[in-house]
Amino acid sequence: MCGAPRRRDTGESLVAGRRHWQVEVSCAGCGHSWIGCGSGEPPPEVRQAVLAEHGPVTVSLAVSPQGSGARLLRCLREIRGGTLSEARAAADALRGSGLEGTLVEGELLAGALRDAGFDVVVTAGS
Ligand SMILES: [Zn+2]
């Protein structure tokens, strides 16, 4: 790279239910370009770039489930991993203003929650 402005394209997609991401950085000055891609969880900087370029989506529960808090927590831990307190925070967010993420994260989360019998809404933007 020669220091000229760089162009960055990012993308995320679901292929057969699996998360794929790619990033392409190209230099307007010397034409140098760098392409990276992978599947699963993208590196944090790629995720941030995807969010910046495409904007977040918000997943929330259409109907706050009665008496299924434990099922929701179990479901969240299966999908997202992490600790019980992280799952509790995520469950609170789903019941409240929603859980923000990339479009693909939103689709994966909403799909898994629907499979588990929850009624969810996905909205673009934060
Ligand atoms: Zn350059």
Q: Please name each of the domains of the chain with its CATH number.
A: 6-54 (no CATH), 57-124 (3.30.1390.10)
CA 28 to chain centre: 30
Q: Could you report the average pLDDT of every consecutive run of 10 residues in the chain (126 residues)?
A: 84 90 91 91 91 93 79 90 93 93 93 93 84
pLDDT of residue 13: 93
pLDDT of residue 48: 92
Residue listed under structure tokens 């600790």: 83
Ligand 1 midpoint to CA 21 (Å): 24
Contact 124, 55 (CB under 8 A): yes
**Beta-carbon neighbours within 5 Å of ion ligand 1:** 1-2, 4, 27, 29-30, 32
pTM above 0.75, yes or no: yes
pLDDT of residue 126: 57
pLDDT of residue 2: 85
Q: CA angle, corner 88, sides to 47 and 11, nearest 5?
A: 15
Ligand 1 midpoint to CA 28 (Å): 6
Ligand 1 midpoint to CA 7 (Å): 10
